[in-house]
Structure 1
Amino acid sequence: MMTLHPKVIDLTLARVERLLAALGNPERSLPPVVHIAGTNGKGSTQAMIRAGLEAGGDRVHAYTSPHLARFHERIRLAGELISEPALTALLDECVTANGPDEITFFEITTCAAFLAFARVPADWTLLEVGLGGRLDATNVVERPRLTIITPVSMDHEAYLGDTIAKIAGEKAGIIKRGVPVIVGPQHPDGLAVIEAKAAAMGAPLRVFGQHWTVWEERGRLVYQDENGLLDLPLPNLPGPHQVQNAGAAIAALRLLGRDEAACEAAVTRAFWPARMQRLRQGPLVDLAPRVELWLDGGHNPAGGEAVAATLARMPRRETHLICGMLNTKDVTGYMRPLAPQVTQLHAVSIPGEKNTLPAEATRDAARAVGIEAVAAGSVAEALADIAARTPEARVLICGSLYLAGTVLRENG
Structure 2
Amino acid sequence: MKLPHWPVPYIKKLEKMRLDVMHKLLDALGNPHHSLPPVVHIAGTNGKGSTLAYLKAVLEAAGYKVHRYTSPHLVRFNERITLAGEEIDDGFLYEVIEETRQAAGDLQVSFFEGTTAAAFLAFHKVKGDILLLETGMGGIFDATNVVDKPLLTIITPISYDHMEYLGNTLTSIALEKAGIIKPNVPCIISWQFQEALEVLKARCRQLHASYSAFGEHWQFEVLKDRFNFIDLESNENNSYSFPLPSLVGPHQIINVSTAIAALQGMNQFEFTMEHIVQGITNAVWPARLEQIKRGVLYSMLPQGWELWLDGAHNEAGAQMLSVVADQWQDRPLFLINGRTGNRDIKAFLRHFEDKVALVIGVEVQSEPLAEKAEKIVAGALELGFKAIEMSSVASAIQHCIDNTTVPSRILICGSLYLAGDVIAANHA
Q: Show the counterpart of 2:208.
A: 202
Shift of 1:287: 1.9
Hey, what's the Cα distance between the residues in 2 that align with 1:223 and 1:340?
Answer: 34
For residue 241 of structure 1, what is the amino acid of its counterpart?
Answer: H
Moved over 3 A (4+): none
Shift of 1:393: 1.2
Shift of 1:155: 0.3
Q: Show the counterpart of 1:265.
A: 278
Is the aligned partner of 1:409 residue 2:424? yes
Shift of 1:368: 2.2
Q: Show the counterpart of 1:324.
A: 338
For residue 385 of structure 1, the aligned residue among 366, 375, 399 is: 399
Q: Show the counterpart of 1:239.
A: 249
Hey, what's the Cα distance between the residues in 2 that align with 1:240 and 1:184?
Answer: 14
Hey, what's the Cα distance between the residues in 1 that align with 2:125 and 2:159?
Answer: 36
Q: Show the counterpart of 2:67.
A: 61
Out of 382-391 and 137-146, give the one that drifted further: 382-391
Q: Percent identity?
A: 45
1:245-276: CA deviations, max 9, x gaps? 01100001121134322321332011000001
Hey, what's the Cα distance between the residues in 2 that align with 1:390 and 1:100?
Answer: 59
Root-mean-square deviation (CA, aligned residues, Å) is 1.2
Q: Secondary structure at the match of 1:176?
A: coil
Count of residues paired in the alignment? 402
Hey, what's the Cα distance between the residues in 1 that align with 2:265 and 2:192?
Answer: 20
Is the aligned partner of 1:357 residue 2:363? no
Q: Show the counterpart of 2:298.
A: 285
1:269-292: CA deviations, max 9, x gaps? 110000011111111111224331
Any conservation in 2 of the 1:249–1:266 contact (CA below 8 Å)? no
Is the aligned partner of 1:136 residue 2:146? no
1:68-125: CA deviations, max 9, x gaps? 0111000000001000121111101100000122101011110111011111111110
Any conservation in 2 of the 1:33–1:124 contact (CA below 8 Å)? yes
1:47-86 superposed matches below 5 A = 47-86=53-92
Is the aligned partner of 1:224 residue 2:230? yes
Shift of 1:185: 0.7
Hey, what's the Cα distance between the residues in 1 that align with 2:105 and 2:403?
Answer: 57
Q: Show the counterpart of 2:361.
A: 347
For residue 231 of structure 1, what is the amino acid of its counterpart?
Answer: S
For residue 195 of structure 1, what is the amino acid of its counterpart?
Answer: K
Any conservation in 1 of the 2:366–2:421 contact (CA below 8 Å)? no
Any conservation in 1 of the 2:47–2:157 contact (CA below 8 Å)? yes
Shift of 1:315: 5.7
For residue 54 of structure 1, what is the amino acid of its counterpart?
Answer: E
Hey, what's the Cα distance between the residues in 2 that align with 1:266 and 1:355?
Answer: 36
Q: Show the counterpart of 2:3.
A: none
Hey, what's the Cα distance between the residues in 1 that align with 2:354 and 2:220?
Answer: 27
Any conservation in 2 of the 1:339–1:371 contact (CA below 8 Å)? yes
Hey, what's the Cα distance between the residues in 1 that align with 2:191 and 2:124?
Answer: 33
Shift of 1:397: 1.0
For residue 364 of structure 2, what is the amino acid of its counterpart?
Answer: I
Unaligned runs of 5+ in 1: 1-10
Hey, what's the Cα distance between the residues in 2 that align with 1:267 and 1:183?
Answer: 19
Hey, what's the Cα distance between the residues in 2 that align with 1:75 and 1:247?
Answer: 25
Shift of 1:295: 0.6
Is the aligned partner of 1:38 residue 2:53? no
Shift of 1:326: 1.1
Shift of 1:218: 2.6
Hey, what's the Cα distance between the residues in 2 that align with 1:164 and 1:262?
Answer: 36
Q: Show the counterpart of 2:94.
A: 88
Shift of 1:12: 2.1
Q: Secondary structure at the match of 2:399?
A: helix
1:331-370: CA deviations, max 9, x gaps? 2111111223211111111114221111110011112223
Any conservation in 2 of the 1:246–1:266 contact (CA below 8 Å)? no
Hey, what's the Cα distance between the residues in 2 that align with 1:141 and 1:16?
Answer: 11
For residue 237 of structure 1, what is the amino acid of its counterpart?
Answer: L
Out of 308-317 and 337-346, give the one that drifted further: 308-317
For residue 172 of structure 2, what is the amino acid of its counterpart?
Answer: K
For residue 101 of structure 1, the aligned residue among 102, 107, 125 is: 107
Hey, what's the Cα distance between the residues in 1 that align with 2:98 and 2:302?
Answer: 44
Any conservation in 1 of the 2:366–2:417 contact (CA below 8 Å)? no
Out of 246-255 and 337-346, give the one that drifted further: 337-346
For residue 409 of structure 2, the aligned residue among 372, 394, 397 is: 394
Q: Secondary structure at the match of 1:230?
A: strand
